[in-house]
Amino acid sequence: MEIEKRKEVIEMIKQLSYFFDKCKDQLCEPYGLSSIQSKVILDVYHNNGCRVTDICKRLNKETNTISPLITRLVNHGYLTKEVCEDDRRVFYVYLTKKSENIMSSLMTDVEKTTWPLFDKVSNSDLNKIYDSLKLLMEVTKEN
């Protein structure tokens, strides 16, 4: 029975992942952003002035995937990129006003989309979800 429960938990996580990916795609579409572009912008939003290599690590993507993407986002006015004075191979990435405005709107859209989901559960059930997710975050945390 335990093996079946584990399989079911993994399946539920996959289904939730698909659900939230679909929500994210729908929220980003009006801004002309793809899923991966929004992930990069969101990462920079939370880590403004970060290095390209740090973005790659956090998103678990290779530099040859993220660097051209960042260049396109710079070309479209979503990000700026500055070279490090000490090491000219290193670039720091910043949000532009355009992407700050988009992120502000997106955060509002996310709240409008996701918060009503929790109106369907009792406070007791919400606490169970919270505790379970907290435990899941702990057991999946990288050392």
Look at residue 57 in the predicted model and tell me its pLDDT: 94
**Res 143: pLDDT:** 54
pLDDT, mean of each 10-residue run, the chain (143 residues): 90 92 87 88 93 93 93 95 86 93 87 89 94 93 70
Query: Which run of H or E residues covers position 51?
Result: strand 50-51
Burial of 112 (0-12, 13-18, 19+ CB in 10 A): exposed
Class of domain 2-106: mainly alpha
Domain regions of the chain by residue span: 2-106
The structure tokens 């079946």 sit at 4
Instruction: Report how far residue 98's alpha carbon sits from residue 73's, in angstroms, rounded to the nearest whole number.
Output: 11
Q: Where are the beta strands (DSSP E) in 68-129?
A: 79-83, 91-95
Residue 130 has what pLDDT? Answer: 95
